[in-house]
Amino acid sequence: MNFSIVNILFLSIFIGFIADNSEVDYLQIIPGTVEKVEMIYLPGGTFTMGSPKSEKNHFGDEGPQHEIEIAPFWIGKYEITWDIYELFIAREIDSKKPTEVLGDEVSIEVDAVSGATQPYTDMSFGMGIDGYPAICMTQLSAVKFCEWLSAMTGNFYRLPTEAEWEFACRAGTKTAYSFGDDPADLDLYAWYEGNSKGAYQKVGKKKPNPWGLFDMHGNVSEWTLDQYIPTVYNKRKRKTVSNPRVIPKKTYPRAVRGGAWTDQPSRLRSASRRPSSKQWKKRDPQIPKSLWWHTDAPFVGFRIVRPLNTPTVEEQKTYWN
Amino acid sequence: MKFKQNNLLSRRNFVKSTTLATTGILSATIPVAAMANVNGDKKLKLALVGCGGRGTGAIVQALQADENTELVAMADAFQDRVEKSLKAIQEHFDGVKKIKVKPKNLFSGFDAYKKAIDMADVVILTTPPGFRPYHFEYAIQNGKHVFMEKPVATDPVGVRKVLDVARMAKEKKLNVVVGLQRHYQKKYIDILERVNDGQIGKITGGQVYWNSRGVWVRARESKQTEMEYQMRNWYYFNWLCGDHILEQHIHNIDVANWFIGDYPAKAQGMGGRQVRNGKDHGEIFDHHFVEFTYNTGAVISSQCRHQPGCMSRVDESFQGTKGSANMRYGELIDLDGNAIHKYRSGKSTKSSKPSSSVANPLNEPNPYQVEHDKLFASIRNGGVISDAENGAKSTLTAIMGRMATYSGKEITWEQALNSNLQLMPENIDWNSNPPTMPDSKGLYSIPTPGITTF
C-alpha cells in the first residue's frame, strides 16, 4: 500500500489511458488527496457458481451449482480502507474535484450525492484506521460511496454483484477456497476467528488469490449489490446465465460475501453467502436508526468494481440507490 | 489521609451498592407494602420529554420493556420534533403495537414538560442535559418513576439539585435509571466482578478515552432567533450541553469511578479547539486531557477528542497491583502479560444454517434495552433502582475536568461540588437571550486557560 510520491506521479500518468478503457490494471487517484484505489482488470469469462453438496460445510443456499457468464470488469485489489472511506464521510475534498475529471463515464454533480452522517461513536472500535478496512457501513452507505467516487473521478464505480464477487474470489478455482480445500492453509491467506486476535487487520497482509486480489477470504466480509434470496440458484439450473443481478426490493436481507475476522473457516469459503439483518443495528440507540451505520456489524466492509462496458446514465442510477 | 477515610468508605460503599441494584439483587429486599406509585399489573402510562433521536429510541425501548404500557404524552421545545418523533415511533411499531397519542397531549415549548409529566406514571427525560435537573425535580416531586439520559446537569448548581432530588426519590421509593448504559452491559459487569474479586489487585491507575470524529452540526438558518438557533445546535453551547468531555466522555469517566469505587479528589488538565473552530461550533473545545487523582493515589488519564482523521478510541483500561484490565477486549492480564480472563459473549457461529449473527465481541444483550427491562421489572416488583446519585457524581466528575481544562487550574472535588457556577438559567422563554451571545462577527467567547475562572 505504500507508494512513494514518485510512484504515484509515475502511475498517475497511466490514468490518462483509462478514458480509453484500456484493459489494464490501474490506480484510481482520489482528487485532492494522496489516496488511491488499486484496480485489477478481470477479462470476464464463465465459471461455476455455488458449491456441490459434497463440499464440507456446504449450505443449502450454495446450490445448485450453475454456469455464469461474467462481462469484463475491474475490481479493487483491496477492501476499501478507513483512510479512503473517511474522505467520503468528511466530504471536505468535494471542492477539490478538478473541473475536468479524468474519466468521461459519469457526469454528475458531486454535491448532489447524499452524504453519510457522522457516527455518534467510534465505528472502528479502536481496531485501527490507517490501512485498516472500513466497517459498519450500511449497504446504502457503501453504494453512496461508489456514487461519490464516480462523481469525483468521472469513472463509473459500483458494488459487485454476488456473481461478480464469487467470480473474482474463485479466480478460476473450483475448490472451497481459492487456494484449495484445506482450511489448514487459511493462515497464509486470510484473517478469521482463529488468527485475528479479536480485531480486523491491515488490508493486503496475507497472500493474494491467483488473480492478485487480497483478503477476498476473511478480514471483513464484503457487501454486494444483490438481495439475498436463499433459493435464487434454483432458477438458474441447467442454463448459462449472463451477469445475474438480484435487484433488491427490500432493505433486508442483502448478500454479504467472504467471511470475516469474526468467522469460523467454513464461512470464508468462496461459495458461502450471508444475509444482512436488521439486528446489525441492534444497539443503535436512536430512532429512526441510522441509514448509514450498522452499530453491530464490525465485520462488514466492501470493495468496489468498475465494469468495462459503462451502463447508460439511467442504468447507472439504479446501482446507486 | 486518615481523616478522609470515612468519606472514602461511604463513597466506595455507595458505588458498590449501585452495582447490586443493577444486577437486580437489591430489588428483592424491598417489601412490596412499602411501594409508592406501584403497580403490580396496572397499565403504566409513559411520557416522553425530549423528542430527539435518542429520546425516540428510549421511549421505544421503554414500550418494548413492558407489554402493559401506553405512551400518553410527548413534550419538546419544538413542535416539529414532537411530530417527527411520534411518526418514527409509530413506524417502528407498525403492525406490532398501536401507538396513539391524542393531538392535545403533544406539547411544545419550554414548559411543555410539566404537562406531559403530569399525565404519566413513568417519564423519559431526554432533552439536552442543561434542562435535566429541573425536569427531574418536577418528575420526582410529582411521584413519577424516571429514566433519564446522561449527563444529568451541565453545572455544579444543577448537580446539587439532582443530588437533593435523588434523596427525595429514594424516600419516595421511586425508581430512577440513568442512561450510563455500561452499568447494564454484561461485559462490564463481568469484568467488574473479577476486579472486585481482586484478580488484578488494587487499581492504581488507568486511561479512559472518547476519541472520535465528532458529532452533528446544525447550521444557523435565516429567521432563527439566537435562542432558537442555540436550542437546535445545542451540542456547541455549554449551558445546554456542557461540552463533549461531559456529554459523551462521561461514559468512560463514569466507568473509572465505578471500577475504582470512588470519585476523584482532584483534577487538572488541558484542552482547546484546534480543528473544530468555525462559526457553527459555538463555544466548546475539540479536545481535553485530564488527570483525575483519587484518594488512594490512583490516577486516571482521561482523553477526549472530536477531530476527524485522527486515531479513534472509545475505551477504558485499568492497571492494578497484580495485573491490568482492558474493556474493549474485555480481558484481564497479569503483570507478566499472561491472560487471566477473556470475556466471551454467549453466541457463536456454530449454527447449521446461514445466519446473520456472528461470534464477535460486540454480540451481547443490548444494554440500551436492558436498562429499560430492569427499570420496568423493578417498578412491577416494587424494587427501587437509584442511579441518580451516581449519575450526578459522575456528571460532576466530568464538569470538574472541564473546569480544569477551561481554567488551567487544579480543581478539587469539594471546589467543584460547592461551586456556584451556574450555566443554565432558571427561567427561560423564547423571548429571552441565551446566557451566551455571539459578538458582532457571530463568534462566541472561547474559554481560555489561565484567564477563564472556574
- Comparing CA positions, the residue from A47, A53, A151 lying closest to residue A97 is A151
Distance from CA of B364 to the nearest CA of A (A): 10
* pLDDT above 50 for B253: yes
Q: In terms of CA atoms, which chain B residue is nearest residue A194?
A: B359
- Please check whether residue B350 touches A, CB under 8 A: yes
Cβ separation B358–A299 shorter than 8 A: yes
In the numeric block, which cell numbers belong to residue A148?
A: 461519490
Q: How confident is the model at residue A95 (pLDDT cuts 50, 70, 90)?
A: confident
Q: How confident is the model at residue A116 (pLDDT cuts 50, 70, 90)?
A: confident
Q: What's residue B364's pLDDT?
A: 75
* pLDDT above 70 for B22: no
Integer-rounded Cα radius of gyration of chain A: 19
Report pTM.
0.82
Query: What number is the ipTM of this complex?
Result: 0.72
* pLDDT above 70 for B354: no
Cβ separation B354–A275 shorter than 8 A: yes
Q: What's residue B346's pLDDT?
A: 55
* pLDDT above 50 for A97: yes
- Please check whether residue A262 touches B, CB under 8 A: yes
Q: What's residue B363's pLDDT?
A: 62
Q: What is the spatial distance between Cα B282 and Cα B436, in angstroms, rounded to a whole number? A: 9
Coil, strand or helix at A234: helix
Cβ separation B354–A274 shorter than 8 A: yes
**Do A41 and A48 meet the contact criterion of CB atoms below 8 Å apart?**
no
Q: Please list, in sequence order, all residues whose beta carbon lies within 8 angstroms of the beta carbon of residue A94, skipping any fewer than 6 positions away.
A: A110, A111, A152
* pLDDT above 50 for B29: no
Cβ separation B53–A273 shorter than 8 A: no
* pLDDT above 60 for B143: yes
- Please check whether residue A251 touches B, CB under 8 A: no
Cβ separation B88–A264 shorter than 8 A: no
- Which of B213, B276, B368, B372 best probes binding to A when mutated, by most A CB atoms within 10 angstroms? B213
pLDDT, chain B, mean: 89
- Please check whether residue B109 touches A, CB under 8 A: no
Instruction: Measure CA B312 to chain center.
Output: 21
Q: Reduced to 3 DSSP states, what percent helix, strand and coil does chain B have, rounded to the nearest 5? A: 40, 20, 45
Distance from CA of A304 to the nearest CA of B (A): 22
Cβ separation B312–A279 shorter than 8 A: no
Q: What's residue B12's pLDDT?
A: 43
**Do B189 and B22 meet the contact criterion of CB atoms below 8 Å apart?**
yes
Kindly list the residues from chain A whose CB atom is less than 8 angstroms away from the CB atom of residue B309: 86, 90
Cβ separation B360–A264 shorter than 8 A: no
* pLDDT above 50 for B347: no
Kindly list the residues from chain A whose CB atom is less than 8 angstroms away from the CB atom of residue B368: 283, 285
Q: What is the spatial distance between Cα B367 and Cα B378, in angstroms, rounded to a whole number? A: 16
- Please check whether residue B50 touches A, CB under 8 A: no
Residue of higher predicted confidence among B346 and A163 = A163
- Please check whether residue B93 touches A, CB under 8 A: no
Q: In terms of CA atoms, which chain B residue is nearest residue A57?
A: B352
Residue of higher predicted confidence among B10 and A318 = A318
Distance from CA of B249 to the nearest CA of A (A): 11
Q: How confident is the model at residue A102 (pLDDT cuts 50, 70, 90)?
A: confident
Q: What's residue B39's pLDDT?
A: 62
In A159-198, the residues whose Cβ lies within 8 Å of chain B are 193, 198
Tell me the pLDDT tens digit for each residue of B270-321: 999 999 999 999 999 999 999 999 999 999 999 999 998 888 899 999 999 9
CB atoms within 10 A of CB B173: 18
* pLDDT above 60 for B25: no
Tell me the pLDDT tens digit for each residue of A199-236: 999 999 999 999 999 999 999 999 999 999 999 999 99
Q: Please list, in sequence order, all residues whose beta carbon lies within 8 angstroms of the beta carbon of residue A277, skipping any fewer than 6 positions away.
A: A252, A253, B356, B357
Distance from CA of A311 to the nearest CA of B (A): 32
Q: What's residue A128's pLDDT?
A: 87
Please state the φ and ψ torsions of residue B159, each to the nearest 5 degrees: -60, -45
Cβ separation B309–A288 shorter than 8 A: no
- Please check whether residue B163 touches A, CB under 8 A: no
Kindly list the residues from chain B whose CB atom is less than 8 angstroms away from the CB atom of residue A296: 362-363
* pLDDT above 70 for A16: no
**Do A183 and A177 meet the contact criterion of CB atoms below 8 Å apart?**
yes
**Do B287 and B274 meet the contact criterion of CB atoms below 8 Å apart?**
yes
Q: What's residue B168's pLDDT?
A: 98
Cβ separation B356–A279 shorter than 8 A: yes
Q: What's residue B82's pLDDT?
A: 98
* pLDDT above 70 for A6: no
Q: Determine what percent of chain A is predicted with pLDDT higher than 90.
A: 78
* pLDDT above 80 for A99: no
- Which of B342, B356, B357, B363 best probes binding to A when mutated, by most A CB atoms within 10 angstroms? B356
Angle between helices B186-196 and B5-22 (to 10 degrees): 140
Listed range (A239-243, B35-39, B328-332) with the worst mean pLDDT: B35-39
Integer-rounded Cα radius of gyration of chain B: 22
* pLDDT above 50 for B21: no
The runs of H, that is alpha helices, within B46-107 are 53-65, 79-92
* pLDDT above 80 for B37: no
- Comparing CA positions, the residue from B85, B127, B136, B134 lying closest to residue B106 is B85
In B272-311, the residues whose Cβ lies within 8 Å of chain A are 308-309, 311
Q: What's residue B131's pLDDT?
A: 98
Q: How confident is the model at residue A18 (pLDDT cuts 50, 70, 90)?
A: very low
Tell me the pLDDT tens digit for each residue of B48-81: 999 999 999 999 999 999 999 999 999 999 999 9
Kindly list the residues from chain B whose CB atom is less than 8 angstroms away from the CB atom of residue A90: 213, 308-309
Cβ separation A273–B56 shorter than 8 A: no
Residue of higher predicted confidence among A6 and B430 = B430
Q: Is the peptide bond before A64 cis (omega within 30 degrees of 0)?
A: yes
Cβ separation A296–B349 shorter than 8 A: no
Tell me the pLDDT tens digit for each residue of A22-78: 889 999 999 989 999 999 999 999 999 999 999 999 999 999 999 999 999 999 999
- Comparing CA positions, the residue from A207, A171, A196, A164 lying closest to residue A267 is A196
Q: What's residue B53's pLDDT?
A: 95
**Do B386 and B163 meet the contact criterion of CB atoms below 8 Å apart?**
no
Residue of higher predicted confidence among B23 and A249 = A249
